[in-house]
Chain A
Amino acid sequence: MNRALEADNVTKRYNKVVALQGVSFSVRRGEVFGLLGPNGAGKTTMANILSTHLLPTSGTTRVMGRDCVAEARQVRTLVGVAPSNPRSLYWRLTGRENLMRFAFLYGLDARTAGRRASELLERFGLREAGNRFVGEYSTGMRAKLILARAMIHDPPVLILDEPWATLDPEARIDLTGLLREVAVGEQKTILVCSHDLPLVEKVCDRVAVIDKGTVICSGKTSELLASLPYQYVIHLGPFPDMGRTKAVAATLGARLEHPPQVTGRRVIRLKVTDLITLFRVLDDMRLGREVGISVRSVTLEDVYLSRRRQAEGTQSGDVDKGEEGPVIRQTIV
């Protein structure tokens, strides 16, 4: 049995609201798995079912081979849950007291609880802050303490719900490093529920994209990235005027889906596989130095948006409603 987490055809209804519809996935032991999706997709519901906090309407879930409904108490000892709410700590207790209190709930004796609390405070860089009230902590420190609390009983499985929510960029990077360290150093199985795709990409081995309660794609991060019909996203512009924008678009054989006069932007977005061919074409066009070119590799965000559009049945080739404004149908591959 190599599976740490299993969800098999899980459906959850809250009265008339269908939160999950036939969701299935499994997470191998020692793997970091990302459950991606927009707000309201059903990620937190899935996390709550796996942590035995909620009962599924139908389907089965297992943690380390144990049924989350029939063996709920045993499952709780195997799982550490880090909710996204920073208020889920006691702000009038110190960091150490928070860890100790929850350690006792997991049945640890005073000596073990104290040792674990010290270890985790040290590990997460909270040793000095351990004797201060949590109310005096920064949001980043609270996020670390919540993670430490989830690990207080040294569970083999961690479920993290939106771990980066409310964190500033520096704290996000800090926490991402910690998560990788925990995943690699302690070989824990980690389920990360998030819509923060760049960070999920950094941390997770495999992901499943969930939308409107169903899994719309899943697989290794690298495989999902490779599954896109393009590998790079290019931004050209801004062009000095609209006429030039249209001329370049015409030369590239691209069709303006959202004319720049509507959006007021003079940037062309291209999705390509063969960068060399594109640059040759651009070189021949002699665009001049005034036009900027930016190149980036595809990210999970592209996969996510692409699969969401597929699921919604509105996809039309490579056209999307990118935030950059006018969108071009790419013909150069």
Chain B
Amino acid sequence: MLIKVKKALSSVRLSFRVIWSVASYNLRITYRYPANVIFAVAMPVLFILMAALFSNVVENALVTIMTGGESSLPRYLAAGLGVWFISNSMSGIANAVETEIGWGTLASSLFSPATPAQIMAGLALSNLIYGGSIGALVLVPLACLFGLTAPHLGLLRLLLGLVVLYGMGMLFAALAMRWRRVGGLISALAFAEQFFCGVFIPVRLLPVGLRCFSYAFPQTWVIDGVRSAFLGVDPLLPARTETILLAALAALVNGVGFAALRLAEKRVRQYGLSEQY
């Protein structure tokens, strides 16, 4: 029994080592492209400048932008950043997989005992750290300067939202492994997501007939969590129910994502990663 536990622990440790190595080296590559560094610095500066300059202009004024709620400009900026992060996260992981396939580095990684799921997890983690670091560079100064706070349940929903996004990332990574060029599909889905999930228009303002599509997208609930956490607007469902729903979605989407990756791996072993022979 003890040996089994030791083996399991060793396997978990090995798995984390693989995931961390993929993530850490991918981050090094990311930060070695000057454009990525410029973006990572410029975006927080831009956000903070906007908050500082325009909050002074409309001091103490509350902003209402089609959300059905009203809040201060820094809070809108924080929510906007969160929504931007969500709408870009799934294309980010798919792009990373596409790039690795194009380079031939994914094939080399798959010659090792590491599984596609571990490699995808590493890529997703590096994306999360890169995006998260930008988010932190915006949110921490905003919180300090403008006293932004989020309710505890809101923070939990944000965390669960990240787990849901990770599952979505696995799903799109599987699509990229299966079809290699999924940029068009991702763009189409990203647009659908932006339209239906409350990026352009809050879900509660959509016609009733369209809302059923919105509810089917896991991102709807993640974005709703961000909006309610930062803007204080009422969530689509009661906060507690939405938290449970997000937890269920996190399990479901990750399960589906993992299964999709396994299927993609099977396909890759049938036909090869590049399907060239």
**Contact residue among A90, A93, A105, A133 (Cβ-Cβ distance under 8 Å from B113):** A105
Cα A104 to Cα B18 with chains together (Å): 6
Max count, chain B CB within 10 A of own CB: residue among A40, A45, A54, A100: A54
Question: With an 8 A cutoff between CB atoms, is A81 at the interface?
Answer: yes
Closest beta carbon of chain A to B180's beta carbon, Å: 15
**Contact residue among A40, A55, A90 (Cβ-Cβ distance under 8 Å from B269):** A55
A107→B269 contact, CB < 8 A: no
Which residues from A are CB-within-8-Å of B275?
Answer: 14
**Contact residue among A19, A97, A105 (Cβ-Cβ distance under 8 Å from B114):** A105
B29→A107 contact, CB < 8 A: no
Assuming the contacts A53-B272, A55-B270, A106-B112, asked whether A97 and B25 have C-beta atoms less than 8 A apart, the reply is yes
Closest beta carbon of chain B to A281's beta carbon, Å: 49
Which residues from A are CB-within-8-Å of B17?
Answer: 104, 107, 109
Closest beta carbon of chain B to A81's beta carbon, Å: 4
Question: With an 8 A cutoff between CB atoms, is B133 at the interface?
Answer: no
Question: With an 8 A cutoff between CB atoms, is B21 at the interface?
Answer: yes
Which residues from A are CB-within-8-Å of B88?
Answer: none
B109→A17 contact, CB < 8 A: no
Closest beta carbon of chain A to B276's beta carbon, Å: 8
Which residues from B are CB-within-8-Å of A149?
Answer: 108
Which residues from B are CB-within-8-Å of A42?
Answer: 277
B108→A92 contact, CB < 8 A: no
A93→B25 contact, CB < 8 A: yes
B113→A76 contact, CB < 8 A: yes
Q: Size of chain A's interface in residues, with CB distance under 8 A?
A: 37
Which residues from A are CB-within-8-Å of B32?
Answer: 92, 133
Contacts between chains A and B (CB distance < 8 A), count: 90
B21→A83 contact, CB < 8 A: no
Assuming the contacts A14-B271, A17-B277, A76-B113, asked whether A88 and B28 have C-beta atoms less than 8 A apart, the reply is no
B14→A107 contact, CB < 8 A: yes
**Contact residue among A53, A90, A107, A133 (Cβ-Cβ distance under 8 Å from B25):** A90
8 A Cβ contacts from A55-110 to B = 55, 73, 76-77, 79, 81, 83, 85, 87-90, 92-93, 97, 100-102, 104-107, 109
B269→A92 contact, CB < 8 A: no
**Contact residue among B28, B108, B272 (Cβ-Cβ distance under 8 Å from A48):** B272
A81→B111 contact, CB < 8 A: yes
Cα A219 to Cα B110 with chains together (Å): 32
Which residues from B are CB-within-8-Å of A101?
Answer: 21-22, 25
**Contact residue among B104, B111, B112 (Cβ-Cβ distance under 8 Å from A85):** B104
B112→A76 contact, CB < 8 A: yes
Closest beta carbon of chain B to A183's beta carbon, Å: 20
8 A Cβ contacts from B47-105 to A = 103-105
B18→A83 contact, CB < 8 A: no
Cα A106 to Cα B114 with chains together (Å): 7
Cα A79 to Cα B110 with chains together (Å): 12
Assuming the contacts A92-B29, A105-B18, A107-B17, asked whether A83 and B113 have C-beta atoms less than 8 A apart, the reply is no
**Contact residue among A19, A79, A92, A104 (Cβ-Cβ distance under 8 Å from B21):** A104
Which residues from B are CB-within-8-Å of A14?
Answer: 271-272, 275, 277
B277→A83 contact, CB < 8 A: no
Cα A79 to Cα B103 with chains together (Å): 22
Cα A90 to Cα B103 with chains together (Å): 8
Question: With an 8 A cutoff between CB atoms, is A44 at the interface?
Answer: yes
B21→A53 contact, CB < 8 A: no
Which residues from B are CB-within-8-Å of A51?
Answer: 111
Question: With an 8 A cutoff between CB atoms, is B107 at the interface?
Answer: yes
Which residues from A are CB-within-8-Å of B108?
Answer: 81, 83, 88-89, 102, 149
Closest beta carbon of chain B to A283's beta carbon, Å: 53
B113→A73 contact, CB < 8 A: yes
Assuming the contacts A51-B111, A102-B112, asked whether A88 and B105 have C-beta atoms less than 8 A apart, the reply is yes
Cα A131 to Cα B20 with chains together (Å): 21
B109→A90 contact, CB < 8 A: no
Which residues from B are CB-within-8-Å of A133?
Answer: 32
The 8 A CB mask of A20-56 against B (1 = contact, 0 = none) is 0000000000000000000010101100100111110
B113→A19 contact, CB < 8 A: no
Cα A55 to Cα B20 with chains together (Å): 29
Which residues from A are CB-within-8-Å of B113?
Answer: 73, 76-77, 105-107
**A100-B25, A107-B17 provided; 13 other pairs, C-beta below 8 A?**
A45-B277, A52-B269, A54-B269, A76-B111, A81-B111, A83-B111, A85-B104, A87-B104, A88-B103, A102-B112, A105-B109, A106-B113, A106-B114
> Considering the complex of A and B, which 7 residue pairs feature the smallest CB-CB distances, nearest first?
A104-B21, A88-B104, A105-B112, A85-B104, A81-B111, A105-B114, A101-B25
* B residues in contact (CB < 8 Å) with A: 14, 17-18, 20-22, 25, 28-29, 32-33, 103-105, 107-114, 269-273, 275, 277
Q: Can you show 19 pairs from A to B with CB atoms below 8 A apart?
A: A19-B277, A44-B277, A51-B111, A53-B107, A53-B111, A53-B269, A53-B272, A73-B113, A76-B112, A83-B104, A83-B108, A87-B105, A88-B104, A88-B105, A90-B29, A92-B28, A100-B21, A106-B113, A149-B108
